[in-house]
Structure 1
Amino acid sequence: MQNQVKENYTISGFFVFFLIAVSQKTGIVSNFQSLVVRDAGQDAWISVMLLGLSLHLIIWMVYKMLGYPAKDVIDLHRTIFGNFMGNSLSLLLVGYFFIISLFVFRTYIEIIQVWVFPTTQTWALAAIFICMIYYFVSGGFRVLTGVCFFGFLIPSFLIFFLYFPIRQGDLQNLMPVLNHSFLDLLKASKSSSFIYFGIETLLIYFPFLKLPEKTAKWAHIALHYGTFEYTVLTVVTLMYFCQGLLKHTLWPSLGMTKIIEFTFITRFEYIFIFLWLMVIIPTICIPIWCCTRIMKRVATLKPRLSLPFILATLLIAALMFNERMNIDVFEKFIIEMRFYFIYAYIPFIFIIYVIRAKIGINRK
């Protein structure tokens, strides 16, 4: 049965831009530059650009599958695989979105502990953030959309501070261009695939869009924006760091903010980290909301019951990663999982959907 969303719960189509753009900003405070440079060297910016451009095809597939009339991936699973198998696959997505939230959640806590409050216990920071997440997710999808809007707007001015590392950078670090094979560029793209989080959540909130068939342009614009932003950031990082140092640098973007000083503030990285909380919170909240939405649709479990359980599990799971080595292993797992979900599972579902649609038309 197709999922119908009341109009007072839907959002205008242009908000898709903020939902996707904010989700993709999370990777800026990660160490994606260190990962991508290992395979592509000074051509790392090409790998990041190719990855972003390739995702336009994935967005096109999503809109083709879920549009006319609007539905979510749960309806799609039931249509293709039947109720039992479809619901089982949908429940697996709960684990997928939960793991994404856990990764962003634990990574940001680690940044706070390393850069700002090194003596603060993980459970204390996690508990504070859990309360914030509960407040926003319990407000519903429209509230999360508003948080994404401000999460995009407020930290956007930080991009102008790239002037400082550019001023100290060296263009020679980008030479020679195209000095790596196409296979090396693809390997580098895979290692940085997690920076484009956000597209897969479209599979869940698609029915909440007003006239969703007309919102595709905003999704593509958001992806263009994210691709441009990450490409520029990668170029600036390569100019600022030598490759040998960059390969062993954790959080290169934060490292570049350390050189920014004003007469009234000397630790600009503190401002950067705490402003980025406006980006991190919606990036965690939206996948958590997706988990509650799936459980409501499949298991008829209301969000007010499922949300506390999910957040309690998130808190416990975050405490299990108490060493950097564990987080590194988790990061590698996230990269693999996310890559195959985007580039294998979504095209697989799309192919089956197209075949079933062709068969249906021929029978008629």
Structure 2
Amino acid sequence: MMSKSKNESLTPSQFIFVIYGSLLGIGFLAFPNSLVKISQQDAWISTIIGVIYPLYISLMCIYISKKYPNHNILFLSKKYFGNFLGNILNLLFCIPFIVIGLSLTSGYANIMLVYSTKFLTPLKLIIVITAVCLYSSYKGISLIGKICEIIFYITLPFLLIPLLTLKKSSILNIFPILGSGITNILKGSIDTMYSYIGLEFILLIHPYMNDKSKLKSSSLIGVFLTMLLYVWIVFITIYYFGIDVTSKNLWPFLAALEIIDIPMINNFRYFFILSWSFLLFRCLTIYHFAIVYILKDFMKKTDVKKIYFFIFPIFVFLSTFLTNELTRRNFLGKVTPIMVIFLVIYVSSIALLVRIKG
């Protein structure tokens, strides 16, 4: 499963949706909450500036892929740093996928217990989520690409439906534009960058793209598509609630959906949670694939099925430690900046070595 074959490939459109899927998980439901505390009504502007981080990672991947179209970052790490140090760096590269994966799993259980499946325990939800996503990732990158493409078209209407109820609030909630000050907008953009973590996945899978001439355009489209959606989510939440309500709600975008009134649908929120579940499963499947892919590269002689069976109970166990939502967010707030700094240094070092020695 981990070896590239003709049957394991991604089309340019699938590559776009894999990028989109790797970036869009649980974060966008809570994203406006933390951001308005910094950038206030200008949080949507911070979201635009924050795209600098995923754009940088994309450009590094584009550059590396031109020099090594058939080799990913794991190979290059060992090539330039040697097997010992290279393997250590690769395992460190795996940690962000593990941390965000655990956070997504527990965060999903937290939301479902509040809004939907109150009759289930967090442990049961985590077991089901982890099992489904691990099984999907086991089927390979080609299936993941198809899943990402299908889910994009299924869920996009649910994200755009708030357009129908714009008259229920006021455009004054986003004014004055730039009123929070340039300093706060820039501070908010740093917080936004942390929400874009996950794009590093393309450094693993770019060799699977069947038309490498379109890698650049597909990468940039995927990044900007995600940015547009994040900007829309932040903008529409502030538009509906203003900064005071948004900053006090744990999942403000989800709360904004309460305003939507569609004939024949008693509670639109539940339909949205169902569609959002697809987004979450897609994102987790991508992260599980990345984790097993890296571990398989480290343990070449180990059967991939054994790796899946090995990490399943570990993931379930560790996810239970983050089933308190405030604890989960505090934990992410502390470790995410460290992970981003490491990823920037690691990816930049590989790109620099490719430039010097390639």
TM-score normalized by the length of structure 2 = 0.92
Native 8 Å contact 1:35 1:192 kept in 2 = no
Which string of whole-angstrom CA distances, capped at 9 and with x for unpartnered residues, describes residues 209-241 of structure 1?
A: 123343210110111111112112222111111
Inter-CA distance 96–198: structure 2 relative to 1 (3 Å threshold): closer
Shift of 1:323: 2.2
Which string of whole-angstrom CA distances, capped at 9 and with x for unpartnered residues, describes residues 265-293 of structure 1?
A: 22211110111111111201111111111
| Partner-residue secondary structure (3-state), 1:120 | coil
C-alpha distance in 2 between matches for 1:344 and 1:167: 46
Q: Any residues of structure 2 matched to 1:216-295 within 5 Å, and which?
A: 216-295=216-295
Q: Any residues of structure 2 matched to 1:189-204 within 5 Å, and which?
A: 189-204=189-204
- Residue aligning to 2:32: 33
Which string of whole-angstrom CA distances, capped at 9 and with x for unpartnered residues, describes residues 26-82 of structure 1?
A: 256431111111111111111101112553232111121233332111111112211
- Residue aligning to 1:312: 313
- Residue aligning to 1:349: 350
- Residue aligning to 2:128: 128
Stretch moving more, 115-124 or 261-270: 261-270
What letter corresponds to residue 21 of structure 1 in structure 2?
Answer: Y
| Partner-residue secondary structure (3-state), 2:167 | helix
Identity of matched residues, %: 21
- Residue aligning to 2:58: 59
C-alpha distance in 1 between matches for 2:3 and 2:250: 45
Inter-CA distance 181–350: structure 2 relative to 1 (3 Å threshold): farther
What letter corresponds to residue 259 of structure 1 in structure 2?
Answer: I
Inter-CA distance 353–181: structure 2 relative to 1 (3 Å threshold): farther
- Residue aligning to 1:360: none
C-alpha distance in 1 between matches for 2:14 and 2:27: 21
Native 8 Å contact 1:36 1:192 kept in 2 = yes
Inter-CA distance 83–342: structure 2 relative to 1 (3 Å threshold): closer
- Residue aligning to 2:324: 323
C-alpha distance in 2 between matches for 1:4 and 1:320: 34
Native 8 Å contact 1:295 1:302 kept in 2 = no
- Residue aligning to 1:91: 91
Shift of 1:302: 2.6
Native 8 Å contact 2:12 2:209 kept in 1 = yes
Inter-CA distance 189–339: structure 2 relative to 1 (3 Å threshold): farther
Shift of 1:171: 1.5
What letter corresponds to residue 24 of structure 1 in structure 2?
Answer: L
C-alpha distance in 2 between matches for 1:108 and 1:337: 24
Which string of whole-angstrom CA distances, capped at 9 and with x for unpartnered residues, describes residues 171-213 of structure 1?
A: 1222222234443222212223343244110111122112334
Inter-CA distance 178–44: structure 2 relative to 1 (3 Å threshold): same
What letter corresponds to residue 19 of structure 1 in structure 2?
Answer: V
Which string of whole-angstrom CA distances, capped at 9 and with x for unpartnered residues, describes residues 243-266 of structure 1?
A: 122111111110011122334222
Question: Does residue 185 in structure 1 map to residue 185 in structure 2?
Answer: yes
| Partner-residue secondary structure (3-state), 1:276 | helix
C-alpha distance in 1 between matches for 2:349 and 2:95: 20
Native 8 Å contact 2:13 2:149 kept in 1 = no
Q: Which runs of 5+ in 1 are unaligned?
A: 358-364
TM-score normalized by the length of structure 1 = 0.91
Inter-CA distance 87–62: structure 2 relative to 1 (3 Å threshold): same
What's the Cα RMSD here? Answer: 2.1
C-alpha distance in 2 between matches for 1:63 and 1:356: 17
C-alpha distance in 1 between matches for 2:51 and 2:333: 20
- Residue aligning to 2:303: 302
